[in-house]
Amino acid sequence: MTRPLLLALLLLTGLAPAAATPIRLDDDAGTTVELPAAPARVVSLLPSLTETVCALGQCARLVGVDRYSTWPESIAGLPRLGGGLDPNIEAITALRPDLVLVATSSRASERLRALGLRVLALEPRSQADVHRVIGKLALALGLPAADGERLWQHIETDIDAIAATLPAAVRGTRVYFEVNRAPYAAGASSFIGETLARLGALNIVPAGLGPFPKLNPEYVVRADPALIMVGDRNYTGMDERPGWSGIRAIRERRVCVFAPEQSEVLVHPGPRMPEAARIMADCLVAKGQGLPAAVSAPAAVTPVAVPATRSAAPAVPATAKARP
């Protein structure tokens, strides 16, 4: 049988390989990324992106991840390629990835592009960002848009279901969520702050200060939160900060101290946000009941710009990430 005849038969029977469909999209850094076809070999240097790729059912495409990506367990055997601030460029290029996923704050992007690799920079800070990033990843992986939307709706439904279980007594609890002892806080406009709002809590750090502002410690003292949420590494010595022993949450021992594995879930904006919502909801129930209605926070603050983040925690200050 001649080759032309064989190809014609394959086309008629639907067995011929489909032509690759090019993919074109803009990333969060404003760079247009063009892929000749859906990537088969993907490197992720951001935990939330690693988790989202897997939640979209595409874990098998990952050939390497950053040192802070620990979920799901199926990625445990993948090569570790450093982090956003110290990526192992040689190891990344040796894996011959079709696409490298990074944070917009990563130092690796330009170096990798200079080596001929295709790089997609994405960095969610709010829940709307998470929705958008899921959609962009679905597109970059050549998946139907419905796959990304289905994952987002699952996240939304689960968070709403958790919020619906909370007793009325915890609603209106004034919360300070610390992501780093500088102190950096999760503001109302961050994905963490937005989850708190959906759970009925009131954030003492207004949206106007940005997602993760550095605060004057005196601001927290004056705001006098009724409940504090903090990772165990940042909690050490909190009550010894000037004036902090008088904060109501500390005085009444209404402080939720999260273990490292819980902190990791809380600071990753992606498919595990419902799990993060459950952790925060459990804290509100355990420590927030019996508190009076909220009072307004003080207006005088000293916000400081948040520094560039590392790939360990794309939406929070670099030092806020709980180590795996």
Q: Domain range holding 137?
A: 15-151
Indicate the residue among 151, 176, 193 that finishes a domain.
151
* Number of domains the chain is built from: 2
> Is 2 a domain residue?
no
Residue 252 domain-assigned (yes or no): yes
- Do both 191 and 135 map to the same domain? no
Residue 63 in any domain: the answer is yes
Asked if residue 79 and residue 198 are part of one domain, the reply reads no
What is the 3-state secondary structure of the chain?
Answer: CCHHHHHHHHHHHCCCCCCCCCEEEECCCCCEEEECCCCCCEEECCHHHHHHHHHCCCHHHEEEECCCCCCCHHHCCCCECCCCCCCCHHHHHHCCCCEEEECCCCCCHHHHHHCCCCEEECCCCCHHHHHHHHHHHHHHCCCCHHHHHHHHHHHHHHHHHHHHCCCHHHCCCEEEEEEECCCEECCCCCHHHHHHHHCCCEECCCHHHCCCCECCHHHHHHHCCCEEEEEHHHHCCHHHCCCHHHCHHHHCCCEEEECHHHHHHHCCCCCCHHHHHHHHHHHHHHHCCCCCCCCCCCCCCCCECCCCCCCCCCCCCHHHCCCC
- The pLDDT tens digits of the residues spanning 90-110 come to 999 999 999 999 999 888 899
Tokens matching residue 183: 């102190």
Q: Tell me, yes or no, whether 186 and 121 share the same domain.
A: no
pLDDT in the model for residue 50: 98
Q: What integer pLDDT is reported at residue 19 of this predicted model? A: 57
9 falls within a domain: no
Check whether residue 46 and residue 126 sit in a common domain: yes
- The predicted pLDDT at position 134 comes to 98
What pLDDT does 315 receive? Answer: 45
pLDDT at 4: 52
* 173 lies in the same domain as 300: yes
Q: Is residue 30 part of a domain?
A: yes
Q: What is the pLDDT of residue 9?
A: 52
Q: What is the domain-level CATH number for residue 284?
A: 3.40.50.1980
**Would you state the pLDDT for residue 275?**
98
Residues 134 and 206 in one domain: no
Judge if 297 and 200 occupy the same domain. yes
Question: What's the average pLDDT block by block, 10 residues per block, for the chain (324 residues)?
Answer: 51 50 95 97 98 98 97 97 91 98 91 96 96 98 98 98 96 96 96 98 97 97 98 94 97 97 96 98 89 46 38 40 34
3-state SS, 150-210, equals: HHHHHHHHHHHHHHHCCCHHHCCCEEEEEEECCCEECCCCCHHHHHHHHCCCEECCCHHHC
288 and 204 part of one domain: yes
Does one domain contain both 134 and 203? Answer: no
Do 145 and 21 sit in the same domain of this protein? yes
Tokens representing 124 are 């969610």
Residue 94 covered by a domain: yes
List C-alpha distances in Å: 217 to 72, 161, 229, 258: 36, 35, 16, 21
| Residues whose CB is less than 8 angstroms from the CB of residue 186 and which lie 6 or more positions away in sequence, other chains included | 177, 178, 179, 192, 193, 196, 203, 205, 211, 212, 316
Q: Do the domain assignments include residue 3?
A: no
- Are 131 and 183 within one domain? no
pLDDT of residue 290: 63
Cβ-proximal residues to 293 (8 Å cutoff; 6+ apart), any chain: 172
CA–CA dist 298, 190 (Å, integer): 20
- The verdict on residue 196 lying in a domain is yes
Q: Which residue has the tokens 């702050």?
A: 193
Per-residue pLDDT tens digits for 255-274: 999 999 999 999 999 999 99
Note the pLDDT tens digit of each residue in 58-101. 999 999 999 999 999 999 999 999 988 889 999 999 999 999 99
Contact predicate 98/22, CB 8 Å:
no
pLDDT at residue 288, rounded to an integer:
86
Examine the domain organization and report whether 35 and 114 are in the same domain. yes
